Structure 1
């Protein structure tokens, strides 16, 4: 079959098939929750890199861990995992009101097998635009989930997924990935499991609007009906100096500690800033530096998961929300003038981060957001941070992946040597996701999708903080 070539890297597709749930499923409709309806039709990728299993396990190369056998294990486990995570085998269809709904019909997951003519250690992790995008992470053609397993010259393997963000947030995807991996692992005595260890909850009634609703005015500052947006301009071509690019860095635990120390150098009311708040404040200043000399606002949003907020101490609801599958997200943001972000100390900027985050850490915020969506249906809404173009000043979003369960995605041939989300989502706003380093030493791995001028500024002013991710760092 055909291949995709980029420089010296060629990825050839060797087989394509559809994997369906191993048990029959009664076809049914599943409405999206109000919080799902806030997501535009955008896909998210994630990939996992595994070394040659014979080298990883000390195998004798007898073929028991060949690419073919690993792929069969992946497919069989996927078919079993889809029994519980059946939404991933369905389709998104518009209803009579023009809103997306889930048709749970077990139409299946596209599963691609491929071969890449490269060694794992030649994969340029620092620049995933060259080696990952469109090659190792599949382009979803239909349905909700696509999977790709790519064999490498060294016997290594890359397993990747692309999923529809309207159906799942990262928390939900992580649940599925861990469950799929556990289902694939051999058991003693050998029992064929028909359902994965984790049982997801699809009760979108947990996110039902109130009657009557109650909407705080601040929500109108954070979200906007799409009917009020002007037509979106096409993105500039990649030859322009300000196009969005993806990079992966690592930040040492020492640098993170230094950021947090500076952010806490002048605490207000004794409040301590978290590592994430300190990191976001530092990044906010760096992005502002790339717009130096312009009198514009630099906007930064931070993704907040509402599962614990909506539990509000209720143990039963906490258990349900802990396994809830879907989107339970809000994106509060702040905007400050370039000169203000550059002149003020990191402690002040971190205080501003803390202040706008405070609006979204209470149960009432998420209940109000559910009511806000209900009040505007069927017109879809969008987080305002995503609707700001470059003319209005730079904008970017930070989404914490610090609970990314990389080490738990072991399909039976060892833990991944590296994994990352991959989200070049195609909008005007940037996207940054910090994740725990596979080194397990407190360092962070940071996926960035920012404007080229912003990346260049970050590398020139903070190259000692954001270091290009290499296989030497991963000690591979």
Structure 2
């Protein structure tokens, strides 16, 4: 059988699909979280499934019909972006349609795609709209679905304009698509299209002629791996982090020069140790591993950026299924010396402190700050010190049964990838397991792979 890197992929058909009911939804004004994403690539996420029992000549019409019905629940996806005379950007729900592609790649097997240490390039070919910037949604579809036949499976990949949806909205659509395909009588999670929150602003974001471009080099050489963390490994990591109530003598000696020899930072105001969450423990582990692998100067400032869902942080809260972007970035800064010498607990506490502080007041402060200087979101890692955590292990990525079983894996395309970009997925086995999609410079990845602390908890082989 040909290697995955050389096997052909052929697009057999492409068509435009429309909602099966006409939209009655008015134009939706982009929020400040939406506008900031106009310089980002389309979201590219998809699921790898075992081969359906239904032959493709019967399956494809069913998928098309199901997508058409799903679009009636999500009218913005079949629309286009428009900018009015005042510079405000809207989604016009005009039923202009979405792209649907059927591709065939008989040289690819599930095991061959999932067993290599690095994520193979073919996954990037299972999506259309490669490196497409969201601003182009003014004249291009806002959604494209590609269904790719494999030798023993099928991949369903969705490319969705990032200026109209974040991960929460993306996966609600994907879940609903699967639900409709299973002939559900009604959908479980009805999207909320209201535009009445603090995120809807009178500020105008101005663009250069031709529209914005991504703020990073999308062609830099990178390695990409999926590191898996079992439920047991996560529990062990969390227990380790939360047992580090006191610094060791070695850690005290390492930071003695800055005169920080007390244990006060490890306790809250009542003298009790603050428990650190599993995910914050995992983020701290990653921050340390990547910082160590980069071999940064001890005085170099590093930053760990976490994307957070603001729906539940605002007062009043947004609907959990508010459709659009409702995310902000939480940066945590520390020198390489502190990240590496102060231990897992300290790093996790720094992350925890900033996440807890990101309340309604903080969200509103960042809204006001953006309104004073409207700008697109600056993705990237220009000085080589950043780690950017996106997606979420809470997203229901494996709750996608189109009628022939749950996915065997979740993968992304080539969109929005740069050195230090990390995406968190739930592990397939559930129970709190987590997969991290890690993008790093080749030499940094090599260092992370040999990092004893990091690899004590991680595994990276699906076929074991």
Q: TM-score, normalised by structure 2?
A: 0.82
Matched, 1:374 2:367: no
Whether contact under 8 Å (2:216, 2:380) holds in the other structure is no
Whether contact under 8 Å (1:209, 1:370) holds in the other structure is no
Whether contact under 8 Å (1:38, 1:381) holds in the other structure is yes
Q: Secondary structure at the match of 1:364?
A: helix
| Cα offset, 1:336, TM superposition | 1.6
In 2 relative to 1, CA 332–237 (structure 1 residues): closer, same or farther, beyond 3 Å? closer
Cα distance in 2 for residues equivalent to 1:419 and 1:103 = 31
Map of 2:424 onto structure 1: 434
Q: Secondary structure at the match of 2:40?
A: coil
| Cα offset, 1:208, TM superposition | 4.8
Matched, 1:166 2:176: no
| Cα offset, 1:410, TM superposition | 1.0
- Which aligned pairs between 1:411-450 and structure 2 lie closer than 5 A? 411-422=402-413, 424-427=415-418, 430-450=420-440
Matched, 1:45 2:49: no
The CA deviation string for residues 110-131 of structure 1, in whole angstroms up to 9 with x for no partner, is: 1110011222222146533422
| Cα offset, 1:424, TM superposition | 4.0
Cα distance in 1 for residues equivalent to 2:201 and 2:101 = 44
Residue of structure 1 aligned with 2:444, choices 450, 454, 462: 454
The CA deviation string for residues 8-67 of structure 1, in whole angstroms up to 9 with x for no partner, is: 32111000001110112358532101221222332111111111223xxxxxxxxxx111
Whether contact under 8 Å (1:297, 1:336) holds in the other structure is yes
| Cα offset, 1:381, TM superposition | 4.4
| Cα offset, 1:371, TM superposition | 2.8
| Cα offset, 1:278, TM superposition | 0.7
The CA deviation string for residues 223-259 of structure 1, in whole angstroms up to 9 with x for no partner, is: x9999xxx99873965xxxx33322121122322232
Map of 1:83 onto structure 2: 72
Q: Secondary structure at the match of 2:32?
A: coil
Map of 1:185 onto structure 2: 182
Map of 1:66 onto structure 2: 55
- Which aligned pairs between 1:299-378 and structure 2 lie closer than 5 A? 299-312=303-316, 318=317, 321-360=319-358, 362-376=359-373
Q: TM-score, normalised by structure 1?
A: 0.80
In 2 relative to 1, CA 236–330 (structure 1 residues): closer, same or farther, beyond 3 Å? closer
Whether contact under 8 Å (1:89, 1:143) holds in the other structure is yes
Residue of structure 2 aligned with 1:112, choices 77, 101, 120: 101
Matched, 1:258 2:230: no
Map of 1:245 onto structure 2: 223
Cα distance in 2 for residues equivalent to 1:367 and 1:321 = 17
Matched, 1:465 2:457: yes
> Between Structure 1 and Structure 2, how many residues are aligned?
418
Whether contact under 8 Å (1:208, 1:370) holds in the other structure is yes
In 2 relative to 1, CA 338–226 (structure 1 residues): closer, same or farther, beyond 3 Å? farther
Unaligned runs of 5+ residues in structure 1 are: 55-64, 188-192, 214-223, 313-317
Cα distance in 1 for residues equivalent to 2:352 and 2:416 = 26
In 2 relative to 1, CA 93–469 (structure 1 residues): closer, same or farther, beyond 3 Å? farther
Whether contact under 8 Å (2:82, 2:90) holds in the other structure is yes
Whether contact under 8 Å (1:400, 1:435) holds in the other structure is yes
Matched, 1:277 2:272: no
Unaligned runs of 5+ residues in structure 2 are: 133-139, 246-265
Whether contact under 8 Å (1:459, 1:466) holds in the other structure is no
Q: Secondary structure at the match of 2:163?
A: coil
| Cα offset, 1:468, TM superposition | 1.8
The CA deviation string for residues 298-356 of structure 1, in whole angstroms up to 9 with x for no partner, is: 211111111111245xxxxx5x5112111111111112221221111111111111122
Whether contact under 8 Å (1:373, 1:380) holds in the other structure is yes
Q: Secondary structure at the match of 1:35?
A: helix
Cα distance in 1 for residues equivalent to 2:327 and 2:431 = 29
In 2 relative to 1, CA 434–237 (structure 1 residues): closer, same or farther, beyond 3 Å? closer
The CA deviation string for residues 49-104 of structure 1, in whole angstroms up to 9 with x for no partner, is: 111223xxxxxxxxxx1112222111111111111201111112333354542122
Q: Secondary structure at the match of 1:340?
A: helix
In 2 relative to 1, CA 251–139 (structure 1 residues): closer, same or farther, beyond 3 Å? same
| Cα offset, 1:374, TM superposition | 2.9
Matched, 1:175 2:172: yes
In 2 relative to 1, CA 452–99 (structure 1 residues): closer, same or farther, beyond 3 Å? farther
Map of 2:257 onto structure 1: none
Q: Secondary structure at the match of 2:121?
A: helix
Whether contact under 8 Å (2:230, 2:427) holds in the other structure is no
Map of 1:130 onto structure 2: 121
The CA deviation string for residues 129-169 of structure 1, in whole angstroms up to 9 with x for no partner, is: 42201x11222663211100011122x21111011111101
